[in-house]
Structure 1
Amino acid sequence: MFWSQGPSSRELAIQALSSVERGYDLLGPKFDHTPFRTPETILGATADALRPLGPFERGLDVCCGTGAGMRVLGPLCHGQVTGVDFSTGMLAQARRAHPYADWVRADVRALPFVEAFDLAVSFGALGHFLPAERLALFDGIYRSLRPGGLFAMPIAAPAPIISGWYWALLGFDVAMRVRNIVWRPPFVMYYRTHPLHAIRNDLTTAGFTVTTLPLTALGRREDDSPRCLLVLARRPSTS
């Protein structure tokens, strides 16, 4: 699963026993050589789906990590693009890879922006937030967008119970819960705490109008449903 330039088993173990922030600081220099980085196929499908919904001026990547989301924001936004994350190690890599962007270190549960962006995106970050924290995240994104602004986030369809992925993800979440009971500081990373209906409800509570688009380029399941949806949350325009 890992490239030769990626982290060793020892490095991953140290990260897993750290806090989320410290763990990603340690992983930052090698993160792009792990399977945790957002695949190019997802970035490309997201950009293709968003392109007809533009034009966009300023863009924000929430929980930007090493900056993979700039491959979406860069081509779509005519103005400045910004990434925000709380890991200095990940932001250092993002700055090297995308020097044209602005990079802000902040806790995304308290985003420091007000009506500054037309488009916000986030990739693979929701597992780092407990369900009770998710509304604060969405409230901050809402405040960060200009009236009429759009927040987009791809989400995979849940694995069927008969698949190996279902049991692998369930096992991972159980292992993380046990780890967080017996070890401090906690490392919050779960795959099964953010189903689509819960995301939709929290986005609606935050004030967004929520729709979804199938990312058909990423394939379909055996029942012909899409493997991945793009959640689109629009901040209403003011009159």
Structure 2
Amino acid sequence: MTNTDPSDIKGVYDRRAEDYDAARSRAFFEARWLSRFADSLPEGARVLDVGCGAGEPIAGWLIREGYNVTGADFSDAMLAIARERFPNGDWRLADMRSLDLDDRFHGIIGWDSFFHLTPDEQRQTIPRLARHLLPDGVLVVTVGPIASERIGSVGGEPVYHASLSVGEYAALLESADMRLTGFMAEDPYCNFHTVLMARKTKETRP
């Protein structure tokens, strides 16, 4: 276990928004997974970037590729940067743990965001994300390679990370009418991120 308080993650990003944005890699190591995600979407698809942060590089790339992007984040400071960067964008203050939008999407991506949730929060959030996907919709999130809790850093402040096992993710997805379609632990071509991909198989049960 870690002594880092998971409930302070919002505070860290609010305090360190500009530092995080300045340090965020623009090398676009995410390209292969983003291309795979995009290849699974219809033209002009509606995409939710959950934990969008300051809008670059993920939301920005999707916007430039012609997708209808909604960015959601719980940090006012991060969203302020995104709104300045993309003033015509759809930026919403929202926490994925209580996500309840009127919209549904062809794709949802949670890059470097979902893994900040505790294990129990992840278990509760997967069906919530599934309910925001249209049938045949695609989910991509970054997680950890094994069930674990770890400490990362944002702007020099420690931040909490957690992951379930791939087997538990597969079971949770199945119970939410989704199917695991991809999992790569510590992908060396993606800056050693662990990436999970799933597809909505049918209308989610109420």
Counterpart of 2:180 in structure 1 is 210
Counterpart of 1:47 in structure 2 is 34
User: What whole-Å deviation, never above 9, does each CA across 1:122-158 have from its counterpart, x for those lacking one?
Assistant: 1112332111111221122111111221111245656
Q: 1:231 aligns with which of 185, 196, 205?
A: 196
Q: Is the 8 A contact 2:126 2:172 kept in 1?
A: yes
Q: 2:10 aligns with which of 9, 21, 26?
A: 21
Counterpart of 1:5 in structure 2 is none
CA distance in 2: counterparts of 1:121 and 1:33, whole angstroms: 22
SS in structure 2 at match of 1:19: helix
**Superposition deviation, residue 218 in structure 1:** 4.4
SS in structure 1 at match of 2:16: helix
Q: Greater relative contact order: 1 or 2 (C-alpha under 8 angstroms, separation 6 or more)? A: 2
User: What whole-Å deviation, never above 9, does each CA across 1:155-193 have from its counterpart, x for those lacking one?
Assistant: 5656xxxxxxxxxx96x48xxxxxxxxxxxxx8612x53
Query: Normalized per residue, which structure has more helix?
Result: 1
CA distance in 1: counterparts of 2:109 and 2:101, whole angstroms: 15
Q: Is the 8 A contact 1:145 1:235 kept in 2?
A: yes
**Superposition deviation, residue 100 in structure 1:** 2.8
Q: CA RMSD in A?
A: 3.4
Q: Is the 8 A contact 1:41 1:218 kept in 2?
A: no
Matches within 5 A, 1:1-239: 19-34=8-23, 37=24, 40-56=27-43, 57-68=45-56, 69-78=58-67, 80-114=68-102, 116-155=104-143, 157=145, 172=151, 189-190=160-161, 192-212=162-182, 218-219=188-189, 230-237=195-202
The 3 A distance-change label for structure 1 pair 228 and 89 is closer
User: What whole-Å deviation, never above 9, does each CA across 1:92-111 have from its counterpart, x for those lacking one?
Assistant: 11111222321111121121
CA distance in 1: counterparts of 2:127 and 2:66, whole angstroms: 23
Report % sequence identity.
24
CA distance in 1: counterparts of 2:199 and 2:193, whole angstroms: 19
User: What whole-Å deviation, never above 9, does each CA across 1:185-239 have from its counterpart, x for those lacking one?
Assistant: xx8612x53343333332223221111165999439xxxxx9556422111245x
Q: Computing the radius of gyration over CA atoms, which structure comes out larger, 1 or 2?
A: 1
CA distance in 1: counterparts of 2:166 and 2:7, whole angstroms: 29
CA distance in 2: counterparts of 1:123 and 1:204, whole angstroms: 21
Q: How many residues align?
A: 191
Counterpart of 2:155 in structure 1 is none
Q: Is the 8 A contact 2:17 2:77 kept in 1?
A: yes
The 3 A distance-change label for structure 1 pair 62 and 90 is same
Query: Normalized per residue, which structure has more strand?
Result: 2
